[in-house]
């Protein structure tokens, strides 16, 4: 925990040609989002082009005004003033419409993308979540999605509107006077060359700053998730020092980025300043020789930026495209991962099934032989316990039953049919888990129990809570079942959380019950009544028990002693004790410690 991790983000693909960017698969995925919201784009782009048209109308009216001044007839003045008023009203209305559409588009795209990513990520196999730090997924859903969204929403519009504006405004200025038009038009390409200055330095500074942002995110996420361990292990100073180091680098990279950007900005502005001087000089000379009126010069000054701007903005937009594609590629890598297929297959019957493992082997990749040739059978409605040292593979056997992972070899079957022939949704619907790792959601107690069976009535929830020995402590709370339990149930004791988790499993009414040391956090009295109640409400379930404690093991019909991924002993409790092997030693050690603590 809280160690420096290598960053998973990709560097911008600086060497890519512009054309290859447009052919990139990620760019094509952008296009599918654009297609979905095409009418917003059509509206926003039309509003922007209409704004360019009003700018031309304004310039043309001004040109006529200044060309004829001071001998302009009163009627023409009135007309021109009316034109100005109409132009201003149109500009205000179009700006409003444009902003409204852009904001609606922005929110629609970002929520749509986030909803799709979240929905997809939760349907990915457990292996994805176990192999990726949660902050990586959150970073993808937040930062990288935002970068991609900025391109999809804003930059795409510029790629369409700016070239059109350049052509229309450039042609207009050429009609005002060819030389002035040419001066305005060539500023853009010169500015384009100026963007090459410090280009790589700028990209490098940007990468450094992005990497630091990701580090901040990662460190904050881990600190908040592990705040108890942070406090208990007095890690505050270590985290503080780490944040101080991040801050030092963050400030340095930000200053570097600002300085490089400022120098690039100055170099970029220079051609337009020089173009302005040249244009005014040429314009004044031509005015003196009567080739143009004052209006021509006014038109040049008004539209100078509108002609040169598209070039430089387009370069920024293409740079953004590189950045967005590299951010979005990680996003789409995740989106391309295959979701679990939860719909195909036959439904599991309501009645408790028999469970059978035949020579099942499995490994997680890094650790070979996590499970080796596991074989056992549990008849319908009976129970089996897995006992053995920590890390032996007990939970992994259960993960295979949930189909969080599939075996590398061997077969698991329910009622004689291979596990993959069952619909995953139906399989998991018929399973309930009471685990020692209890996860409660932020919300009230009622909702947390009702997760076991959405739509359950108040009576059903209360009945489940009674069987789980949770009803009394719940009703003693000021808000009863409506009490909020805080993030991950932080306001409850471990034993109370475990009882809620048991209530949730009871309510589920499953036919396969997985008990992963379900009573580890309960006091002796509550545990013994839990065990006797279990006989009632779980009588019709096939039970798999992961057990460390004698009290839990005692309840099982059959026991497997697992060590290092293998079944080393198996039998009923009496048989295993009689063998006088590993289980017997385990049993005796526990008896001694129970006796010592009694
Ligand atoms: N997601 C994972 N990726 C890689 N290795 C894993 C993963 N989960 C578990 N392991 C490894 O597989 C082995 C078996 O783990 P498992 O959790 O099944 O043991 P266990 O017997 O249930 O342990 P415990 O009694 O401590 O809960 C261990 O060596 C563990 O480190």
Q: What three-state secondary structure class fits 545?
A: strand
CB atoms within 10 A of CB 194: 20
CA 348 to chain centre: 33
Q: Answer for the pair 91, 110: CB distance below 8 angstroms, yes or no.
A: no
Least confident range from 167-181, 212-226, 291-305, 309-323: namely: 309-323
Closest C-alpha to ligand 1, atom 31: 391
Question: Which residue from 367, 368, 387 has its CB within 8 A of the most atoms of ligand 1, so it is best to mutate?
Answer: 367
Q: Which residue CA neighbors atom 3 of ligand 1 most closely? A: 364
Q: At what angle do helices 178-194 and 156-176 cross, to 10 degrees?
A: 150
Greatest mean pLDDT among 28-42, 121-135, 375-389, 428-442: 375-389
Q: Which of 361, 368, 396 to mutate to test the pocket of ligand 1 (most atoms within 8 A of CB)?
A: 396
Atom of ligand 1 nearest to the CA of 126: 1
Asked if 171 and 185 touch (Cβ cutoff 8 Å), the reply is no
- Does residue 589's CB lie within 6 angstroms of at least one atom of ligand 1? no
Distance (Å) from CA 406 to ligand 1 centroid: 15
Q: Can you count the helices (H) and strands (E) in the chain?
A: 23, 10
pLDDT of residue 433: 87
State how far the alpha carbon of 365 is from the alpha carbons of 17, 121, 563, in Å.
38, 21, 19
Name the residue of 133, 363, 370 to mutate for ligand 1: max ligand atoms within 8 A of Cβ. 370
CA atoms within 13 A on the CB side of 323: 21
- Which among 54, 72, 52, 53 has a CA at the least distance from the CA of 294? 72
Cis peptide before 485 (omega within 30 of 0): no
Cα(463) to ligand 1 centroid in Å equals 35
CA of 397 relative to ligand 1 center, distance in Å: 10
Assign 3-state DSSP to the chain and report helix, strand, coil percentages, each to 5. Answer: 65, 10, 25
pLDDT of 526 > 80? The answer is no
pTM listed for this prediction: 0.69
Question: For the chain, what are the domain ranges?
Answer: 18-336, 343-430+512-522+539-598, 436-509
Kindly tell me if the per-residue pLDDT of 565 is higher than 60.
yes
**How big is the chain, counted in residues?**
598
Residues 9-48: pLDDT tens digits?
333 344 455 566 566 666 677 777 888 888 999 999 999 9
pLDDT > 70: percent of the chain: 89
The half-sphere exposure of 444 on its side-chain side, counting CA atoms within 13 A, is 11
Please report the ipTM that was assigned to this predicted complex. Answer: 0.97
pLDDT band at 4 (very low <50, low <70, confident <90, very high): very low
Q: Is the pLDDT of residue 101 over 80?
A: yes
597, pLDDT greater than 60: no
Residue whose Cα lies nearest atom 1 of ligand 1: it is 130
Contact of 293 with 39, CB cutoff 8 Å: no
Mean pLDDT value of segment 273-289: 86
Query: Ligand 1: does its nearest atom lie under 6 Å from the Cβ of 372?
Result: no
Best mutation site among 124, 369, 389, 392 for ligand 1 pocket (most ligand atoms within 8 Å of CB): 392
Atom of ligand 1 nearest to the CA of 127: 1
Ligand 1 center from residue 412 Cα (angstroms): 19
What pLDDT shows up at residue 187?
Answer: 85
Q: Can you list the pairs that 231-237 forms with residues at least 24 positions away whose Cβ atoms lie under 8 Å?
A: 235/2
Q: Which fold has domain 343-430+512-522+539-598?
A: Rossmann fold (3.40.50)
- Is 565 touching ligand 1 by the criterion CB < 6 Å? no
> CB of 396 closer than 6 A to ligand 1?
yes
Q: Is the CB of 48 under 6 A from ligand 1?
A: no
Which residues lie closer than 8 Å to 454 by C-beta, 6 or more apart?
none
> Does the beta carbon of 437 lie inside 6 Å of ligand 1?
no
Q: Is 520 in the pocket of ligand 1 (CB under 6 A)?
A: no
Which among 193, 191, 190, 185 has a CA at the least distance from the CA of 303? 185
With 60 as the cut, is the pLDDT of residue 2 above it?
A: no
Task: Select from 433, 275, 327 the least CA-distant residue to 7.
Answer: 327
d(CA 222, ligand 1 centre) in Å: 22
Q: What is the position in ligand 1's atom list of the atom closest to the CA of 371?
A: 14
Q: In sequence order, what DSSP letters do the residues of 260-277 get, joined into one string?
A: HHHHHHHHHHHHHHHHHH
18-336 is classed CATH 1.20.1560.10: yes
CA 122 to CA 444: how far, in whole Å?
23
Candidates 556, 558, 54, 6; CA nearest to 302 is: 54
Over range 286-303, report the average pLDDT. Answer: 85
Per-residue burial over 483-513, b if 16 or more Cβ lie within 10 Å, else e, is bebeeebeebeebbbbbbbbbbbbbbbbbbb
Q: Which among 211, 234, 206 is positioned nearest to 2, based on CA atoms?
A: 234
Token couple for 137: 């997924």
Q: Is 214 in the pocket of ligand 1 (CB under 6 A)?
A: no
Q: What is the mean pLDDT of the chain?
A: 83
- So what's the pLDDT on residue 440? 79
**Top mutation candidate among 393, 549, 563 for ligand 1, by most atoms within 8 Å of CB:** 393
% pLDDT > 90, the chain: 29
Query: Does ligand 1 come within 6 angstroms of the Cβ of 126?
Result: no
The pLDDT assigned to 7 comes to 35
Cβ of 473 closer than 6 Å to ligand 1, yes or no, is no
pLDDT category of residue 246 using cuts at 50, 70 and 90 = very high
Alpha-carbon gap, residue 145 to 8, rounded angstroms: 15
Taking residues 505-527, report their average pLDDT: 79
In CATH, 436-509 is 3.40.50.300: yes
Model confidence at 417, pLDDT cuts 50, 70, 90, reads very high
C-alpha–C-alpha distance, residues 456 and 481, integer Å: 14
Structure token digits, residue 475: 């009703």
Ligand 1 atom with the shortest distance to the CA of 130: 1
Across-strand partners of 495?
A: none
- Distance in Å, CA 394 to ligand 1 centroid: 8
Q: Binning pLDDT at 50, 70 and 90, where does residue 331 land?
A: confident
Place of tokens 């405004």: 169
pLDDT in tens, 393-402: 999 999 999 9
The partner residues of 433 in beta bridges, in order of sequence, read 514
**Are domains 343-430+512-522+539-598 and 436-509 of this chain identical in fold?**
yes
Predicted pLDDT of residue 487:
62
Per-residue pLDDT band for 385 (boundaries 50, 70, 90) equals very high
Q: Which of 214-223, 325-334, 359-368, 418-427 has the lowest mean pLDDT?
A: 325-334
Q: Which residues contact 504 (CB under 8 A, 6 or more apart)?
A: 432, 448, 449, 451, 452, 464
CA 264/CA 191 separation, integer angstroms = 10
Cβ burial, residue 10 (10 Å; 0-12/13-18/19+): middle
* Cα of 226 from ligand 1 centre, angstroms: 21
DSSP string spanning 186-205? HHHHHHHHHTTTTHHHHHHH
Mean pLDDT of 58-74: 82
- Rounded average pLDDT over 379-389: 92
pLDDT at 459 over 90: yes
The predicted-structure confidence for 500-515, as pLDDT tens digits, reads as follows 888 988 898 889 999 8
Q: What is the 3-state secondary structure (H, E, C) of 128-167?
A: HHHHCCHHHHHHHHHHHHHHHHHHHHHHHHHHHHHHHHHH
Query: 190 to each of 160, 194, 196, how far by Cα in Å?
Result: 21, 7, 11
Candidate from 145-149, 423-427, 468-472 with smallest mean pLDDT = 145-149
The whole-angstrom separation of Cα 466 and Cα 445 is: 13
CA–CA distance, 438 with 524 (Å, rounded to integer): 19
Residue nearest to atom 27 of ligand 1 (CA): 390
Name which of 64, 56, 54, 55 is nearest 295 in CA terms: 64
Least-confidence region, from 93-102, 310-319, 536-545, 555-564: 310-319
Taking phi over 0 as left and psi of -120 to 50 as alpha, with beta for the rest, 83 belongs to alpha
């Amino acid at each position: 925990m809280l160690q420096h991790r290598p960053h998973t983000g990709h560097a911008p693909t600086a060497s890519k040609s512009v054309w290859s960017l447009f052919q990139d698969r990620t760019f094509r995925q952008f296009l599918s989002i654009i297609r979905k919201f095409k009418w917003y784009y059509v509206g926003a782009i039309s509003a922007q082009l209409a704004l360019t048209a009003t700018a031309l109308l304004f310039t043309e009216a001004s040109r006529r005004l200044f060309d004829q001044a001071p001998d302009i007839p009163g009627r023409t003045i009135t007309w021109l003033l009316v034109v100005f008023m109409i132009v201003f009203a149109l500009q205000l209305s179009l700006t409003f419409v444009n902003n409204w559409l852009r904001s609606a588009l922005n929110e629609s795209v970002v929520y749509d993308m986030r909803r799709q990513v979240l929905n997809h990520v939760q349907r990915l196999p457990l292996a994805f979540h176990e192999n990726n730090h949660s902050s990586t997924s959150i970073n993808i859903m937040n930062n990288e999605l935002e970068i991609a969204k900025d391109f999809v929403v804003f930059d795409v519009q510029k790629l369409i509107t700016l070239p059109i504006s350049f052509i229309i405004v450039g042609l207009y200025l050429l009609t005002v006077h060819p030389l002035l038009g040419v001066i305005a038009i060539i500023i853009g390409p010169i500015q384009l060359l100026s963007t090459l200055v410090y280009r790589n330095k700028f990209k490098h500074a940007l990468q450094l700053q992005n990497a630091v942002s990701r580090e901040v995110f990662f460190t904050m996420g881990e600190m908040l998730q592990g705040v108890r361990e942070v406090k208990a292990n007095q890690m505050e100073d270590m985290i503080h020092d780490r944040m101080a180091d991040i801050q030092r680098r963050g400030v340095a990279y930000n200053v570097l980025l600002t300085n490089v950007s400022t120098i690039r900005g100055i170099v970029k502005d220079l051609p337009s300043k020089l173009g302005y001087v040249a244009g005014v000089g040429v314009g004044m000379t031509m005015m003196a020789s009567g080739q143009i009126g004052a209006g021509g010069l006014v038109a040049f000054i008004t539209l100078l930026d509108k002609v040169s701007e598209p070039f430089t903005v387009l370069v920024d937009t293409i740079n953004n495209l590189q950045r967005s594609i590299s951010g979005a590629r990680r996003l789409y890598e995740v989106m391309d991962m295959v979701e679990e297929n939860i719909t195909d297959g036959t439904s599991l019957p309501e009645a408790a099934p028999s469970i059978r493992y035949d020579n099942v082997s499995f490994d997680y990749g890094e650790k070979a032989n996590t499970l080796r040739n596991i074989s056992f059978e549990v008849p319908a409605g009976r129970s089996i316990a897995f006992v053995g040292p920590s890390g032996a593979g007990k939970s992994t056997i259960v993960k295979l039953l949930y189909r969080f992972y599939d075996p590398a070899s061997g077969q698991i079957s329910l009622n004689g049919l291979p596990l993959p022939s069952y619909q995953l949704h139906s399989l998991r619907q018929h399973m309930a888990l009471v685990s020692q790792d209890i996860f409660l959601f932020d919300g009230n107690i009622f909702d947390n129990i009702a997760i076991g069976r959405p739509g359950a009535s108040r009576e059903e929830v209360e009945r489940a809570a009674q069987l789980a020995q949770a009803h009394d402590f719940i009703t003693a709370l000021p808000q009863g079942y409506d009490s909020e339990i805080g993030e991950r149930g932080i306001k409850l004791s471990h034993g109370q959380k475990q009882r809620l988790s048991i209530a949730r499993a009871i309510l589920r009414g499953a036919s396969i019950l997985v008990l992963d040391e379900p009573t580890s956090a309960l006091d002796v009295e509550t545990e013994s009544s839990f065990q006797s109640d279990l006989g009632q409400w779980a009588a019709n379930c096939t039970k798999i028990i992961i057990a460390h404690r004698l009290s839990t093991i005692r309840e099982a019909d059959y026991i497997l002693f697992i060590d290092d991924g293998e079944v080393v002993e198996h039998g009923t409790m009496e048989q295993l004790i009689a063998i006088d092997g590993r289980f017997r030693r385990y049993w005796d050690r526990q008896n001694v410690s129970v006796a010592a603590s009694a």
